[in-house]
Structure formats: structure tokens, C-alpha cells
Amino acid sequence: MHLLVGLLPKEILAGMPYLQGLGLTPHVLVFALAISLFSAALFSFTPAISLSRDAMRAGLTEAGLTSSGQHWRRFGSKLVVVELATAVILLVSAGLFARSFYRLLQVDPGFQPHNLAIVSLSAPREHYPAAPIRHRCL
């Protein structure tokens, strides 16, 4: 993360104080590792558990006798349906996102942006020491 933040110019980075604390924490790494292990276990052990030894042997002999087994043909057709449904959902989501983004660009900002200039000023810290911290009593 620090490498990617380091690619930004210093002037732009000074205007983005929320990027200062950006980084990978142990909590994020443990969560990512747990999700990775869970998904790997789910997608590797589920087919192995669902097929018994006899069903696997029958499927292999059935596939050996024909061009492809009946079980695998049914599984393949279901997989194609799932892939097409996922593609349709992604296309609809992308269209809705594009429409929302277009509408966001058309929102009236409440002022006339023509002939508007924006200036960013920063005072040097060595000339202006930090203000003393005042404690409030409740």
C-alpha cells in the first residue's frame, strides 16, 4: 500500500490526509487468510465429499463408455446456466452504475462553476507552532 501511495505526487498527497493511515493491519491479513482458506476448502472438499466411491466409479465407467457421462453433461449444462445468469447480473449492474454516475454528473452544484478558480494554500509548520491543547472539564 505504501508503494502505491508513494506513486502519488507530494502536492496531491498533501490534499488527501485520509491516505496517511492507509495500510495492512494484522486484522485485515487474518481476515483475508481466513476467507481464502474457507473458500479453498469449500470448493475443493465439497465435490470430493458429495461423490462417494461407488458413484465416482460409476461415473468414470459411464464416461468411458460414452463421449461424456450423463452426470457430467447435466452438471455442465447447469454450470452454463449459472455462468449466463452471472453475466446478465453483471451487465445489468454495470448499466445501473453507469446511469447513476451519469445522473451524478448532472446534479446542480448550487453555484455557477464558470470562471471559478480554486487555490490550495498551506502554511509552513516551522513558522506557526501548534496551538496549545486545552482540556475541558465536564
pLDDT in tens, 117-130: 888 888 777 777 77
pLDDT in tens, 31-56: 999 999 998 888 888 777 766 666 66
State the Cα–Cα distance between residues 33 and 43, nearest whole angstrom: 15
Closest to 3 in 3D by CA, of 19, 16, 25 = 19
The amino acid at residue 105 is L
Cell numbers placing 20: 496517511
pLDDT in tens, 52-72: 666 666 666 655 555 555 666
Domain boundaries, the chain: 23-65, 69-106
State the Cα–Cα distance between residues 33 and 100, nearest whole angstrom: 34
User: pLDDT-derived band of residue 2, with 50, 70 and 90 as boundaries?
Assistant: low
Q: Which residues contact 68 (CB under 8 A, 6 or more apart)?
A: 76
Mean pLDDT of the 12-18 span? 73
Closest to 69 in 3D by CA, of 59, 57, 82, 80 = 59
